[in-house]
Structure 1
Amino acid sequence: MPDEDFSIQASALNHWFGVGEASKQALFDIDLRIKRGSFIVMVGPSGSGKTTLLTLLGCLREIQDGSVLLLGKELRNATSAQNVRLRRRLGFIFQAHNLHESLTARQNVLMGLQVKGYLDREASDKAAAHVLTLLGLSDRLDYLPANLSGGQKQRVAIGRALVGNPDVVLADEPTAALDWETAAKVVDLLKQLGQARATTTMMVTHDNRILDRADRILTLEDGRLAGDEDRIGKGLES
């Protein structure tokens, strides 16, 4: 049953790639309960299933076996329309910034609102400028990606994910291209959203600098949940 205190509830979640004799299991019996507003870091060696789990939780892959409740909605056997509605409540940040090269920083961020159905142009412009300013890009609003550094491009991509006030942020190595000062600002902003708006963040990272800021650290090894550490004693369940 859905529990409103939790953004994500996964039970007996398994996943395979390939079919028949070529099939290979990537995730094994994952059980998770992620509280609203928490900042979760997921670590583990390359190939351990972190990104696979993230994409399953974000409606980007079909649930093959087990159950995932995202914001109270069951993902297994969900229709395409149901998945689209849920994805509009999420923010995605990936290591590849995937910016549109013909659009300015502000216009790229505006796309994060347009896909969610926001049509008020004046309010959207203000929101885009606000989030870019929070990310230290107030003087780069009208720059094209070709005129931005790698770290600046990544901050634009982060702004695009956050501008619509998502209920859940799913982030895959979002700080890899950032210096520590900027990475810390991004993490602190995500934590502030958790406190102010109950936004839940689940971040895959190899950046050990982030660990001290996590509310909870999940460790995946060989497709299995091998560790679950509550860092702040909030009684988070798994």
Structure 2
Amino acid sequence: MALDDAPLRTSELNHWFGAGEARKQALFDVSLSIARGSLTVLVGPSGSGKTTLLTLLGCLREVQDGSVVLLGHELHGARPALGVALRRRLGFIFQAHNLHESLTAMQNVLMGLQVKGRVDKATAERAATHALGLLGLSDRMDYLPANLSGGQKQRVAIARALVGNPDVVLADEPTAALDRESGANVVDLLKRLGEARGTTTVMVTHDTRILDLADRVLTLEDGCIVGDQQR
């Protein structure tokens, strides 16, 4: 594919945490291009920079040095309003489900549409019902999080991330709370979205069970990409 078609690109990306003598570099000259519709997995030991890279790709941290191009827009030096607009085109899945405890599964998923702009109620409810059904939660739509298992809560969070048909999904350990079958089903769903809709997924994981499902596996160590395996 043409480089300009890549929904995610970085060039000589560096990042630091802290200040003064405590300043520590977390990423070193990371350059990559992620193909549209692909499922890319980031692996490596804890502290290798995987989540830092993911948050920079998703406009959740300011780009300090180097380049990040997200959906055709340069993030280095960009105005905050651009980050807000771009985040509406993304789906985020975090290891902590971050559900609102006072809202039902359906209401939590509907929130994923509300942040993207105005959607009429009937359309929103159809989309939320469909997303929950895809995750095997049709019989749990009216349950509060307190009445759901950990795996069910995570699947609600995944449905919330996917309900608005995002261009890019950024996932941090999305299968950590899921059993083998549920985790494989989630990754398979993300792959099918890539094939059918062109949804691009970048996933941080320690779950070796799903590596064979990835289109590409990037290995990070000490803030550097040390392996790039296409599948």
Give the residue type in structure 2 aligned to 1:186. V
Give the residue type in structure 1 aligned to 2:194. G
CA contact (8 A) 2:3 2:33 kept: no
CA contact (8 A) 1:43 1:205 kept: yes
Residue in 2 aligned with 1:12?
12
Q: Deviations over 1:143-170 (max 9, x none)?
A: 0000000000000000000000000000
Measure how far apart 1:5 and its partner are: 2.3
CA contact (8 A) 2:49 2:221 kept: yes
Give the residue type in structure 2 aligned to 1:200. T
Q: Does 1:80 align with 2:83?
A: no
Separation (CA, whole Å) in 2 of partners of 1:69 and 1:77: 11
Q: Does 1:59 align with 2:59?
A: yes
Measure how far apart 1:4 and its partner are: 3.7
Separation (CA, whole Å) in 2 of partners of 1:221 and 1:139: 42
SS at match of 1:40: strand
* Within-5 A mapping of 1:182-201: 182-201=182-201
Q: Does 1:89 align with 2:100?
A: no
Q: Deviations over 1:40-89 (max 9, x none)?
A: 01100000000000000000000000000001100001111100000000
Q: Deviations over 1:170-203 (max 9, x none)?
A: 0000000001111111111100110011100000
Separation (CA, whole Å) in 1 of partners of 2:146 and 2:64: 40
TM-score normalised over the length of structure 1: 0.95
Residue in 1 aligned with 2:24?
24
TM-score normalised over the length of structure 2: 0.98
- Any unmatched runs of 5+ in structure 2? none
Separation (CA, whole Å) in 1 of partners of 2:25 and 2:176: 28
CA contact (8 A) 1:3 1:72 kept: no
SS at match of 2:138: coil
Separation (CA, whole Å) in 2 of partners of 1:141 and 1:86: 29
Q: Does 1:171 align with 2:145?
A: no
CA RMSD of aligned residues (A): 0.9
Measure how far apart 1:22 and its partner are: 1.5
- Any unmatched runs of 5+ in structure 1? 232-238
SS at match of 1:139: helix
Percentage of identical aligned residues: 75
SS at match of 1:10: strand
The total of aligned residue pairs comes to 230
* Within-5 A mapping of 1:6-155: 6-155=6-155
SS at match of 1:136: coil
Q: Deviations over 1:108-138 (max 9, x none)?
A: 0000000001321111001001010010000
CA contact (8 A) 1:118 1:124 kept: no
Separation (CA, whole Å) in 2 of partners of 1:191 and 1:120: 29
Residue in 2 aligned with 1:161?
161
